[in-house]
């Protein structure tokens, strides 16, 4: 049995929930895939709306991802200067098959190089 496809979507304060939940809905339909919501800590993270999101895994515990997705939102402004976020993305990107973003998440990927 092949290893499951590891898909990670990063969560951060002031993320636009639709930028996150849209890809999560699609990724969750991939047969056999494991979808992770990733943040520094396992604690509630406020979105840019009334929704509060709970990560499923931390940066430190995250397996090597096959697919990385960085959603957008007002919090992207802070994430482009967040070294912990940028270091996580750099570490994961080396072996990931696909590195993706939604909207201003591309700016975070750009900041990570």
Tell me the catalytic residues.
103
Three-state DSSP state, 53: strand
Alpha-carbon gap, residue 53 to 55, rounded angstroms: 6
Polymer length of the chain:
113
Three-state DSSP state, 89: helix
30: DSSP letter: S
């Amino acid at each position: 049995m092949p290893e499951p496809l590891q898909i990670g979507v990063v969560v951060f304060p002031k993320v636009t929930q639709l930028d996150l939940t849209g890809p999560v809905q699609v990724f969750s339909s991939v047969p056999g895939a494991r979808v992770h919501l990733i943040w520094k800590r396992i604690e509630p993270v406020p979105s840019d709306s009334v929704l509060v999101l709970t990560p499923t895994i931390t940066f430190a515990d995250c397996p090597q991802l096959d697919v990385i997705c960085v959603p957008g939102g007002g919090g992207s402004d802070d994430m482009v200067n967040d070294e912990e976020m940028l270091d996580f993305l750099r570490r994961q990107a080396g072996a990931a098959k696909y590195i993706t973003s939604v909207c201003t998440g591309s700016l975070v990927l750009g900041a990570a190089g």
